[in-house]
Amino acid sequence: ADNSVAQIQKKGYIVMGTSPDYPPYEFISKGKNGSQIYGADVELGKEIAKDLGVKLKVKAMGFDSLLVGLQTKKVDMVIAGMNENPQRAKSVDFSKSYYSSGLSLVINSGDAKKIHSYHDLEGKSVGAQIGTVQYDAVKKGIKNVKLKGIENINDLILALKSGKIAAIPMDTAVAQAYASHNPGLKIIGAKMPNQSSANNVAFAKGATSLKNAANHTIDKVNKQNLYVKKFVPTAAKYITDN
């Protein structure tokens, strides 16, 4: 049997890896004690830690380094608004789904008359976060697209505002957060082929007791709809304009 839970409990803390550029899932904001990582995923991480009887430590990494971070044991779990998919499941194990918000495109309000769906992006410059399912969806799903892969969503937003790219696909809750804090931006629904938007927690392969413990917490969270009713609203209070 694996001893992943025993190891965490012996350490007294669990390390959650995340890419804090994805409000309301995870983002950096100034709190009483300086800049800190907040987010609904952090609240979920705290709940998993609490049920294990340990403390939560949050480690910020680039989104495309998170799964390697699990394999090299830099982090014990990844909660990053991440979707399970067959390619990722080859290298890590996923929990049950804890949330799903859909897929949207963020565009400049000034382009709203020209861009109604991802078909209108054919031949245009589109930005996507490196390593995400959206990056692959744009690459495979939009004809003659000029795809700009950028590591951080905040930099993508700047590229969009300055007109370097015409659109960014992202999870709907995140698109809403950015649009509501940036008056010049607008969101449009974007059904792309092969897109699941269910979010799952990732674990190193073989950390089965830990994954089972997290699933137990997620069952409880889902039953009480805590992610939507408690975790997202708690996080939303800390989102600031940028």
Q: Which residues bind ligand ARG (CB under 6 A)?
A: 19, 21-22, 25-26, 63, 80-83, 129, 132-134, 153, 171
- 22 versus 98: smaller Cβ distance to ligand ARG: 22
CB of 153 to ligand ARG, least distance (A): 6
Minimum Å gap between C-beta 174 and ligand ARG is 8
Q: Which two tokens stand for residue 135?
A: 């990056």
Instruction: Compute the radius of gyration of the chain from its Cα atoms.
Output: 18
Q: How far is the CB of 78 from ligand ARG (least distance, A)?
A: 9
Report, in Å, the least distance between residue 63 CB and ligand ARG: 5
Record the tokens describing residue 153, joined without a space.
């969503």
Q: Which is nearer to ligand ARG, 79 or 121 (CB)?
A: 79
Beta strands in the chain (DSSP E): 13-18, 21-22, 26-31, 34-38, 55-60, 77-78, 92-100, 103-108, 125-129, 146-150, 167-171, 185-189, 198-204
Minimum CB distance to ligand ARG, residue 12 (Å): 26
Q: In terms of CB distance, is 148 or 216 closer to ligand ARG?
A: 148
Residues written for the chain: 242
Q: How many CB atoms lie within 10 A of CB 51?
A: 14
Distance CA 195, CA 225 (A): 23
CA angle 172, 175, 179 (to 5 degrees): 140
Residue of 129, 172, 173, 133 whose CA lies nearest to 152: 129
Q: Please, which residue, 102 or 123, has the CB nearer to ligand ARG? A: 102
CA distance 199 to 228: 13
Residue 168 backbone dihedrals phi, psi, to 5 degrees: -135, 125
- Least gap, CB of 1 to ligand ARG (angstroms): 30
Q: Which is nearer to ligand ARG, 5 or 27 (CB)?
A: 27
Choose among 65, 21, 13: nearest CA to 174: 21
Q: Which is nearer to ligand ARG, 177 or 214 (CB)?
A: 177
